[in-house]
Structure 1
Amino acid sequence: MKFSHSIQFNAVPDWSSHYIAYSNLKKLIYQLEKSINRAETGDDAEHAPLIRSSDDPDQVFQRALDVELEKVSSFYEIKEREIYGEVEDLLREKAAFEAETDGQGENGRLDMGSRMGDHPRRTSLFRNFTRPRRASTISQALDGGADDSDDEDDESTALQRSRLSFTDRSKSTPHDANGGGDGAVETSEPSKSIRRHSLAYDDYAHDELAIFYSSGITLKKRATSIYVQLCELKSFAQLNKTGFSKVLKKYDKICNRNLKQRYIEKFVAPAYPFSSETMNRLDENIHRMEQAYADVVTQGDVAVAKKELRLHLREHVVWERNTVWREMIGIERKAEAATMGLRRTLLGADNDPTKARLQGDDDNEPDMKELQTPVGRVACPTWLLSSTMLTLVIIITVFFVLLYIPIFDKPEEQNCLAMLVFVSLLWATEVIPLFVTSLMIPFLCVLLRVVRSDSKPHDRLDAGAAAKYIFSAMWTPVIMLLLGGFAVAAALSKYDIAKRIATFVLSKAGTRPRTVLITNMFVAAFASMWISNVAAPVLCFSIIQPMLRNLPSDSDMSKALILGIALASNIGGMLSPIASPQNIVALDTMSPQPSWGVWFFIALPVGIISIILIWILLLVSFKPGKGTTIVPIRPVKEKFSGIQWFISLTTLGTILLWCLSHQLEWLFGDMGVVAIIPLFLFFGTGVLTKEDFNNFLWTIIILAAGGLSLGRAVNSSGLLHTIAGTITENVEGLSLYGVLVVFACLILVVATFISHTVAALIILPLVYSVGVGMEEPHPNLLVMGSALMCSAAMGLPTSGFPNMTAIMMEDSQTGQRYLKVKHFISRGIPSSIITLLVVISVGYGLMLVVGM
């Protein structure tokens, strides 16, 4: 939790305006950062910041800190005098209460002190006042309480009994003026007449009990209230002291200054609220309240008193925090609703209630629309009539049509074609979540009986055998490799290793716009290799935030930087087998699987050349160097910790074993077995926790597993062989290079409009089969080239996670998005074509060199 949220969450609501203005000081830091890094010339009066460049930033920030420190100190002193005054008043009243209770025995009316001493209470003073009255004799009224049963009645029950005793007294028959006991009215109930003989003295005793009980309750409530206020005062001081430390640390980090230690030692530490004498005095008063509570309530047992007081404090804090938490959640929900609205506008979901509902809008009462039918008017939700629902109905209709229109002779091929078209359309249109479609694949495979035995004569398997076959296809060593990649990515991200490496590299880039741009692109591509191209752009965008804050809102450098990171992250998705799910699908499709060394040999040159050419395209189209002043990124100063070295060495060792997987096949058998090493070491040693495991992208894993099972089913049914044979006949006159160009262009177009992973799941098994059926079979070459082209599809904002993340980036000052759809069309489509040319030229040559 950010400290700005933490201070809001932990602050006393009534004192919220008297805490350090942490958010305002952060804004001032960013303004000072701009004034420090702003160019000496070229600033006109309209765009010049409020803070002059001639002002010393330390003095400006110190003046703001002095104001906050004075505000905190003055409020603390006022509240301290107020609360300490209440402490003294309570202690005086407690002394008076003890004197009164001790004196009751001298007057012969109620010797509570001796009773308390003879019969110590287990938890509370008020237990003695909650005894049920026995028979109404004088001796039993005064002395029988010691022999009463140990009831567990609470204070509300005691107050109710006191009220009932007064009610009984008001309903009883009045005595004579002299208070004689012989003036009882005759009654037909002997027990009532006997009771009235002692009623006068009995009522007198209960008057005394009620008075002392009420005084004890008041003292207990006041002691509890003052204890809570003292604890809140202590929390006020501690929270503000932490706030000064954190805001000074942020100032030193962002503005590259060294003010924290000097200011804290000279001003914060000696300030009245934070001095050791003040804290000692506050602790002393807290102990006085605990002792007072113990004397009044728990018969001097301080341990029990502390336990009860802390329980009261906890209940008070929980109630206050629940109130504040609800307000914070409301603010976050409003912000998230605004973001979701922007995302729906971007993705075209505003006019589609079904898509909006699937993306997270919860309408408790959906809009209804009446339809005229032959049986009358029928009301139905509007989302049932939306274009998305219509699309779903059309897809289901196509599915049943393909089931019953004979196209193939064999029923398993016919059913498999219907299933393949049905699943592909669901994936392409995303009318339901992608992973849900994947979960339907084993169900349809078993239900439609599309799976055949691997051995001749390839008989159709029954339901039991088909279920075992298809579920075994969902969990392969490649899925284990994907899990190992997730573990490596989680460890590198959680312990800031990836961020520190990226920051170190970017700090060496200098301030030349073209150098900064290409450095950021290569850092994004490198990060995508190991922490996936989903997390890499998010990491890189967070690193360049100081740079973006110091650039003008309409700067072409900002656009080039953000778009460059997104495009490079897409390219980075092809650089390693664990960089993206489509690579996992390609590995599972190819036979034999290439080693990591072979993958690097092909993908790294293709990726590097593509990034350089895209960088040139961005320089030519954006011209980011004009009038641009870059704020250099500073590296992290802290040294690597032991746990960071452990993660780094484990990651490097795992990658080395993956690269040597073919040479070590006799030992490990498969790369998926090697993936168990980081899972065991990171989770077994506590580097990663079960929460990190639960946060894996399980939707991606299910999507990949469903796609693998679909490929296995299509191959087992014989449909893949039939389709591949037809395509092979049509491309019979083409060379291997021509077939590669055809499939590369096809998959580039498909992956631009649908998910890269989905495109790989649908097309790669087909590409492999076509490659096997050629006169000179090179199936792995075609699959490798097609897999690289899946990552190269980046012509639209929805073409991959990096693009979607980039288009949502906003200027923190104006709230406007840096990029528009036209930027992706005008730069993303040419970038895709550039990468296509590199793959079918450089990539093709490298694949031939390694013998694919």
Structure 2
Amino acid sequence: MKFSLSLKYNSVPEWQDKYINYPGLKKLIYSLQAKQLESSGSTSAAKESSSSSLAEPSSAARRYIPSHPRKWLRKGKDATETTTVELEDMATLTPEDVFLEKLTEELEKIDEFYKSQEHELYIQYDELIQALEISSIHLIDRDNLLNDNKSVLSNKSSVAQEIIHAAKSFNLDIENDYCDVMSSRTRMELDEDEDDDDRSHSDNSALLSDADLNMKTQKKITLKKQTTQLFVDLSQLKSFIELNRIGFSKIAKKFDKLLNDNIRDRLFESNEFFTDSYTFQLNTLTHLDNKLNNLIEVYASLTGRLDDLEGCKTELRSYLRELIVWERTTVWKEMLGMEARTNDLKGATTNISQQNELFQLEYYSWPLPYKVNLYFTKWENFKIPKFLNTSRTYKLAIIITITGILLGVKTFHDEAQHRCMALLACVALLWATEAIPLFVTSLLCPLLIVMFKVSKDSEGNVYGAADASSYILSQMWSSTIMVLLGGFTLAAALSKYNIAKIAASWILAGAGTKPRNILLSIMGVALFLSMWISNVASPVLCYSLIQGVLRTLDTDSPFAKALILGVALSSNIGGMPSPIASPQNIVAMEYLANYNVGWGQWLGVAIPVGIVALFLVWILLILTFKINDAKVMKYKPIKEKLTIKQWYVIFVFIGTIILWCVESQIESEFGSAGLIAVFPMVLFFGTGLLATSDINNFPWSIVILAMGSLALGKAVSSSGLLATIATALQRRISDYSIHVILIIFGILILVIGTFVSHTVSAIIIIPLVQQIGEALPNAQSSTAILIFGTALLSSCGMGLASSGFPNVTAISMTDEVGNRYLSVTNFITRGVPASFLCYFVVITVGYGIMKATLHG
């Protein structure tokens, strides 16, 4: 394995930027080599320079750092900037000077970080030693002393004295040969009451004894956990030294090879380069090894296994391996994902026979009773392609049949509405059954809309094919799509510059290790973000926050499914709490402004409704997914100083959110939220913080799916189909009470929002409920309640994968090799009950608050 990969696999993720910058140093070497070749005046001059270099080391090599002042190096520059500036001074510096200067800078960085980590961990070590000394925990007596060959302590350091001193209070038996301070074995007598010896239950009992419940036992368990964690942390600190030392040796070898030098033998093999470095001193490593060995002794004493130190060492190292496997799985999956994107693992072929299978159709074959000879061919068997005998083919056949029946049987007097009904059924069934991929159905939408002739102009005339094509294609690129791309851009920047990971570490650290708490915390974050940046961008950002958890889980893990589905459902609920959370709320606020309903009333009603709905959906998910079996290790918050680039990303992120929040106030300047989304795209891609590869990695299938949903919504709206259905309903319920009307229209809104669009349902239904409300007693408050309730209910439709942008984003979530986490069945079985739970909350809790607030 190449060292660059070994470094990535074995490094501690939180310390990633503290290791030797091996890739950057390699680039520097290649640049120095190219510069040296360019500056070589002649072959003889090059040879003379080479021989001189080998015969007499440069001043930099003799002094380990360049003699030239490091004025060209400025703190705060990244590797690329530093390398570029160094190369500009090649006229006055030799390649060796430049390279050793950069190595010295790396050494200082490593030294500084190691000292801080060592200081912090050694404080924890001292605290553990003090706890061992002051505790009155009595351990098991040992009759036999340990032999030298069983002891893992190999150095009579002052640190060893600490552990032996602490061992006295624990009745630890340590051999006199490896510790001068002990001249004989000591024991502490156990002072127990007589009733402690009277066992009232057998050893086979499931009841806990007094020994299990007393404070001494509990203290011992706590100290054991502290010892294990400290052993893991110190072991990782030791690996930090080893990896960096190997890195320096490897990069020096590469420098010698490409620039015909010998600094590896002169400076690194002889350890002269590390003379002034604390990290790579022999005493530093010895001191660290002693503490690790002492911790093994402590662990052995706490577990009553002083005669099995090697077994305790193996056990502690197993904890270390488990931690490394869990943490490094993120890196491994990232590498696997890169390979999958490069080579398309699902379709990869490794030999000619597999390629032939890929190119050729497979058939079912039956022999014919006699051969059929034709002029150009001969039939001996009756063949049917195997793809015709699949569930996908049967689904397509059924959907085509249903669509044909709906086209043949007249369902509405208006021909355009009649055809639109068939179109709506066809697309809804394709999305629901996934007979073809979801984004392919979306691509099919504009074609079917034009062919079915369902779009009408403002005067009610059906568009011709050319006009319909221009109209429907123009509707597919909208402000919503721009908001979606803006959300992807923010998510990419947060992820690329590690901000999302830092935020996730703090969020998940507060949630603990219980899966249900983690699920609730991320659902709460999704709800809050949806309030302010819309439920279009919110799920994208939330999925970037939980990537660290998802990468440790399989795609069929119930907890992974619950997390992704929880974000989607809570983002749908997040479409309620604020007027800018979703497009339907903005539509509703335009109507409610005439009834003196502003931001205060909206927040007062919608926030309690959203919180109650969130808790009910959370309970639904933890009851229907077996998430308690998931093992999630406790997260440690990442504590690191943010760079200028990271602060820039945060500034743009917060600025974009603020602009989206005040979008209604600055509408005269920007027009829509979609144009505000241009700011982060320009500020990130224009400055080079995000590259072309980043935009290529956007989930474009989600964008296509969203565009298809918009096209269908526009077509259904322009045909007048939904308006006809709603008008027929209006004539039947005009005499009912306001609560009953809200309940009835709520069902209609759920259906429309689920199968078509939340926004479309609000656009169609709100004008109707306004007309009904104006005819009711207390028209002012009744109309406000109906419009408000309609807007809230339009966010409740979340039963299908195509029901709203959060669901579209969730169904498209895949792991690093393209396996999807969720299926349409997952959405139907959880989304439909969740829709009715939210519907119930709106017509009960929401209606009660609205009646009290808007009537008061």
Q: TM-score w.r.t. structure 1 length?
A: 0.50
Q: Larger Cα Rg: Structure 1 or Structure 2?
A: 1
TM-score (ref. length: structure 2): 0.50
